A = this chain, B = another copy of it.
């Protein structure tokens, strides 16, 4: 379920559009929802794996202003050997205009904090998450 957020005064800044940093909270909200929808709960309840973000490539294509309703779309972008990436977009609900896009590269770590190879059980777990679709 893609989060929908109505833009309020406290989301915006001096320029009367959503502040750069706030977008990262919206994207984080999208990832929490993605995990909730597609990952087995024991990942979280047992703290078996942790996800560490190592890079976010963030593009601002438009502006969200007060009263806009935005939707946070998220999906898998790619798999590497030791990391994988989500793609996320913030789009205006009415026009589908893309406001911001984030490619979020992460590693999966075990309880000791060691980054794991993305294979076998971990790869299978991540394959539950649908690929990003425009």
Contacts and interface: CB of A to CB of B under 8 A. Distances in A.
The secondary structure that dominates the A interface is mixed
Contact of A53 (B53, B60, B66): B60
A128 interface: no
A42 interface: no
A25 interface: yes
A45 B130 CA distance: 41
Contacts of A10: 13-14, 19-21, 25, 28-29
Contacts of A53: 20, 60
A10 B84 CA distance: 22
Q: Interface size class for chain A?
A: 20 to 34
A68 B13 CA distance: 16
Contacts of A19: 9-10, 28
Contacts of A57: 55-58
Interface string A30-51: 0010000000000000000000
10 contacts: A8-B29, A9-B32, A10-B19, A13-B13, A14-B16, A53-B60, A54-B60, A56-B56, A56-B57, A56-B58
Q: Which 8 A-B pairs have the closest CB atoms?
A: A9-B14, A21-B24, A56-B58, A21-B25, A8-B32, A21-B21, A12-B14, A55-B59
